[in-house]
């Protein structure tokens, strides 16, 4: 069985306070890019092996596309398998095949999407009967963004980004241009450049009540101030998207991707020859 984990963007991102555990509380609206950029994820039951008492469950991940550095055992999909296997021991040994397209370290939630979709993929493939509530419970143990991708619908995020509330935000009829330069931004370093502060306005209300044409004035990503100083080319991309007709443009998450929302098909790929660019209709 195969699925296609999609990316997301952040529309507005307020870093409100630093927590006692060293992490940060945020406010942001997350919006899925269901038909714009996505990975491919497949699970296949492994050939049966002898199962002596005490043998560790076997899971192997095979990756193509964008290179994923680090120990494969630390991949979130492998962690999903090991986590769910404890509660559902009937899951057999498996092979995971992941074709990586969503850029890494770009603020698009690609790893989190893979993890959340893999929870659903295991559930469907092996008919585990895991409820939506249980899926969210597993996802929260894996990362701040993971729970969002279980429902994969527009949501207002608080806390570490894992406290989610569905919101009425429909951008169908608009188009997006997503620009991804070859820059990897470390999330921890990005947070170190921001001074948390309480927002003066309600992001949740502004997103739902203001016309998109007014978002530019009131909705901001707090990471941009420090990240743009270190990587001025990102600021130039945002400025260029506005010059090309975007009604709203922003960096997503802690970067490095920058997107523009347009009223009509933007057709900007040739304007950013040095970057990866995705364009399409929002849903």
Kindly write down the DSSP assignment for every residue of the chain, as one continuous string: -EE--EEEEEEEEEEEEE-TTS-EEEEEEEEEEEEEEE-EEEEEEPPP----TTPPP-EEEEEEES---S-GGGSHHHHHHHHHHHH-TT---EEEEEEE-SPTTSSS-HHHHHHHHHHHHHHHHTT----HHHHHHHHHTT-TTHHHHHHTS-EEEETTTTEEEE-----BTBEEEEEE-S----HHHHHHT------SS-HHHHHHHS-HHHHHHH--BTTHHHHHHH-HHHHHHHHHHHHTT-SEEEE-TTSS-EEEEESS----GGG-TTSEEEEEE--
Which residue numbers are catalytic? 8, 145
- Quote the CA–CA distance of 178 and 259 in Å, as a whole number: 4
Antiparallel, parallel or unpaired: β 94-100 and 59-65: parallel
Strand order in the sheet with 155-158: 6-18, 24-38, 155-158, 163-166
Number of residues in the chain? 283
The closest of 191, 207, 209 to 261, measured between CA atoms, is 207
Look up residue 187 and give its two tokens: 């999330």
């Amino acid at each position: 069985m195969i699925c296609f984990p999609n990316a997301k963007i952040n529309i507005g991102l307020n870093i409100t306070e630093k927590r006692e555990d060293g992490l940060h509380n945020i406010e942001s609206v997350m919006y899925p890019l269901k038909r714009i950029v996505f990975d491919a994820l497949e699970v296949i039951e492994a050939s049966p092996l002898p199962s002596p008492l005490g043998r560790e469950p076997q899971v192997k991940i095979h990756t193509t596309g964008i290179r994923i550095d680090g120990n494969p055992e630390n991949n979130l999909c492998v962690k999903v398998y090991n986590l769910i296997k404890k509660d559902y021991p009937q899951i057999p040994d498996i092979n995971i095949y992941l074709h990586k397209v969503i850029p890494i370290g770009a603020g698009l939630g690609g790893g989190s999407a893979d993890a959340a979709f893999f929870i659903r993929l295991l559930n469907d493939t092996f008919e585990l009967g895991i409820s939506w509530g249980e899926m969210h419970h597993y996802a929260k143990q894996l990362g701040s963004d993971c729970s969002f991708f279980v429902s994969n619908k527009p949501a207002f995020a608080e806390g570490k980004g894992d406290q989610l509330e569905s919101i009425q935000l429909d951008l169908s009829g608009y188009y997006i241009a997503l620009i991804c330069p070859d820059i990897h931004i470390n999330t921890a370093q990005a947070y170190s450049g921001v001074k948390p502060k309480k927002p003066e306005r309600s992001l949740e209300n502004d997103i739902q009540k203001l016309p998109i044409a007014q978002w530019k004035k009131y909705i901001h990503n707090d990471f941009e101030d420090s990240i743009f100083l270190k990587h001025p080319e990102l600021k130039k991309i945002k400025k260029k998207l506005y010059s090309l007709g975007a009604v709203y443009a922003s960096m997503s998450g802690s970067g490095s991707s920058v997107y523009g929302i347009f009223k009509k098909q933007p057709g900007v790929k040739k304007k950013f020859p040095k970057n990866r660019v995705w364009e399409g209709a929002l849903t």
